[in-house]
Chain A
Amino acid sequence: MIIHHPLLGPRDSAEFVYLGAAALMDRPDPETASADDWHDYAYLRDNPAGPHRELWFHEGGDRSILIVTRDTTTHEITDVALARPAGAQI
């Protein structure tokens, strides 16, 4: 697959490590979260057949973690963004 890196353009997916669903960014608030919240966060997945927001770590590249929106039935990628917004690039 080819992932269009927002900073580096098209890059081979073999340079990336797949980290799973982007929902993993929404870690429960340790102050308020219940045991169920933690269980659901850590263990339940939407696992959609269709567009899926997921995290790819560019280990063989610039070490950015990207939020990739990819259709799990066709592998078509419709959106890619940096998980951590960078400072001014230019």
Chain B
Amino acid sequence: MQYSGFKVIKEALTGHKGWKPAWRDPDPKPHYDIVIIGGGGHGLATAHYLASVFDRHKVAVIEKGWIGGGNVGRNTTIIRSNYLLDGNEPFYEFSLKLWEGLEQDLNYNAMVSQRGIMNLIHSDAQRDAFIRRGNAMILNGADAEYLDLAQIKKEYPFLNFDDARFPIKGGLAQRRGGTVRHDAVAWGYARAADRRGVDIIQNCEVTGFRIENGNCLGVETSRGFIGAGRVGCAVAGNSSRLMAKAGMRLPIESHVLQAFVSEGLKPVLPGVITFGAGHFYVSQSDKGGLVFGGDIDGYNSYAQRGNLPVVEDVCEGGMAIMPMIGRARLLRMWGGIMDMSMDGSPIIDRTHVDGLYFNGGWCYGGFKATPASGYAFAHLLARDEPHATATAYRFDRFRTGHMIDEKGMGNQPNLH
């Protein structure tokens, strides 16, 4: 069924009888060409591109709970490609381009909203670093714009220019950055993949891999064995748990990141704003809520909830840079499990087991990467070779010393 304004009107006039389920609810088949573990944004996007770009249709996405229930359903919805390093920037720019055509590709309105992202600058050293980054973005074909204090004041008059502990000195903007209705991304990819024959199987938990002399033959699940030519794992925060079943230790720690939303407010923020002298970034949703976040709690956790010190840290940052939000009310706080890698960059690679492929280590930056991650993982699963923009995302980069460390924090995941 094709969605459109006309369809909506037609259904409205005929009592909405015609709407069908957005995706089927199939039972697992005994065998698929490709089985993707994880019905989150990345897994569903992978399935969509496998079917739509790489012409693979015997594909299943298996999800232990309900689709879109992982980080794609609990993030702060920001998209951007403002990266510094060559290993990253082309990939995230590719992702941003895919976002830009997403509605038409999926026939689903995920409300991609390129309202821009502004990284505020508070020191000379930070300015040098952001100028280097802005240049890297432009040299990689992305857009970047340096704003001086006067321009910042003009565009964001409500920021704290009067008594700031760390005065604003400028900012680096990416106008093509913005936000997306996060749940709709999962639903849109799921529906599009389903329409091309992909089986999306919810409430089906993987209990193990069937591996015989170095080959992965499929997965054992709570709904029986499912054979597969190739198995792709895209389970974000649960990566270590899952891959342990295949005897792997990963360069990943799972950490909790909290996010926050305020009560609905009349529009106040033009786009995404990040505070450079504290842990705070914020945007405003189409419903009017201020969606904001900050740093991870900093300790290993699978609990999907955090603690007060970080909540306070984030709100201190918010009040420092944007003291007008003091009387806005925090409506809800929640936590997600981040697959924090050892250099802050992801992994899309084969494993030591033939037929078993891995996609993870997204830290807290996985949402914006969803389209490119799906596309690159589909490329790897379909052709057994990495996509051009993802060649650096290998397991062995730590062995060879080719880390992709945007923040320069080294092998301490909670600092990335």
| Residues on A facing B (Cβ under 8 Å) | 1, 13-14, 18-21, 35-36, 39-40, 42-49, 52, 54, 70, 72-75
Encoded as 1 (CB less than 8 Å from any A CB) or 0, chain B from 238 to 279 comes to 101100000001111110000000000000000000000000
- Given A18-B414, A20-B414, verify A45-B253 contact (CB < 8 Å): yes
- Given A1-B307, A49-B302, verify A20-B412 contact (CB < 8 Å): yes
Please give, as numbers and ranges, the residues of chain A lying within 8 Å of B398 by CB-CB distance. Answer: 39, 42-43
Distance to closest chain A CB from B403 (angstroms): 9
Interface residues of B in 296-313 (CB under 8 A from A): 298-303, 307, 309
Interface of A is mostly: mixed
Known: A20-B413, A35-B399. 9 other contacts (CB 8 A): A14-B309, A21-B253, A39-B399, A43-B398, A44-B249, A45-B253, A49-B254, A52-B300, A72-B254
Q: Top 10 A-B pairs ranked by shortest CB distance? A: A47-B240, A43-B398, A14-B309, A44-B249, A43-B251, A49-B302, A18-B299, A72-B300, A43-B342, A73-B302
B411 at the A interface (CB under 8 A): yes
Expressed in whole angstroms, the Cα–Cα distance for A47 and B412 within the complex equals 13
Q: Considering only CB atoms, which chain A residue lies closest to B240 in the complex?
A: A47
Q: Considering only CB atoms, which chain A residue lies closest to B342 in the complex?
A: A43
| Residues on B facing A (Cβ under 8 Å) | 238, 240-241, 249-254, 298-303, 307, 309, 342, 398-399, 411-414
Expressed in whole angstroms, the Cα–Cα distance for A67 and B413 within the complex equals 18
Distance to closest chain A CB from B370 (angstroms): 23
**Most chain B CB atoms below 10 A, which of A48, A72, A74:** A72
Please give, as numbers and ranges, the residues of chain B lying within 8 Å of A39 by CB-CB distance. Answer: 398-399
Distance to closest chain B CB from A59 (angstroms): 13
- Cross-chain contact of A75 among B253, B301, B342 (Cβ < 8 A): B301
Please give, as numbers and ranges, the residues of chain A lying within 8 Å of B301 by CB-CB distance. Answer: 72, 75
- Given A35-B399, A54-B299, verify A47-B411 contact (CB < 8 Å): no
Please give, as numbers and ranges, the residues of chain B lying within 8 Å of A35 by CB-CB distance. Answer: 399
Please give, as numbers and ranges, the residues of chain B lying within 8 Å of A20 by CB-CB distance. Answer: 253, 412-414
Q: Considering only CB atoms, which chain B residue lies closest to A42 in the complex?
A: B411
Q: Considering only CB atoms, which chain A residue lies closest to B243 in the complex?
A: A47
Q: Are A47 and B250 in contact (CB under 8 A)?
A: yes
Q: Are B414 and A46 in contact (CB under 8 A)?
A: no
Distance to closest chain B CB from A11 (angstroms): 13
